[in-house]
Amino acid sequence: MFVKTIAAAGIALVLSLAPAAAADKLTVLLDWYVNPDHAPLVIAKEKGLFAAHGLDVELVAPADPSAPPRLVAAGQAEVAVSYQPNLYLAVKEGLPLIRFGTLVSTPLTALVVLKDGPIKSLADLKGKTVGFSVAGLEDALLGTMLADAGLKPSDVTMVNVNFALSPALVSGKVDAVIGAYRNFELTQIRLEGKEGTAFFPEEHGVPVFDELIYITRRDLVADPRLKRFLAAVEDATIYVLNHPDEAWGVFVKANPKLDDELNRTAWTDTLRRFAHAPAALDAGRYARFGEFMKQHGLIHTVEPVATYAPALP
Q: What is the pLDDT of residue 16?
A: 42
Query: By the 8 A CB rule, do 72 and 80 touch?
Result: yes
Predicted confidence (pLDDT) per residue in 221-237, tens digit: 999 999 999 999 999 99
What is the pLDDT averaged over residues 40-55? 98
Residues 65-102: tens digit of each pLDDT: 899 999 999 999 999 999 999 999 999 999 999 999 99
CA angle (87 as vertex; 23, 152 as ends), nearest 5: 150
- What is the band of 6 on the pLDDT scale with cuts at 50, 70, 90? very low
The DSSP code for 243 is -
For 270-284, what is each residue's pLDDT tens digit? 999 999 999 999 999
Considering the entire predicted model, what is its pTM? 0.91
Tell me the CA distances in angstroms from 171 to 15, 124, 156, 193, one per residue in order: 67, 19, 19, 11
CA distances, 189 to each of 30, 35, 107, 167 (Å): 25, 18, 20, 8
Burial of 273 (0-12, 13-18, 19+ CB in 10 A): middle
Residue 263: pLDDT above 70?
yes
The chain-wide mean pLDDT, for the chain, equals: 93
Q: Which helix (H) or strand (E) holds 186?
A: helix 185-191
The tens digit of pLDDT for each residue in 99-112 reads 999 999 999 999 99
Mean local confidence (pLDDT), 23-33:
96
Please name the residue ranges forming H helices in 31-136. Answer: 39-46, 49-52, 68-73, 84-92
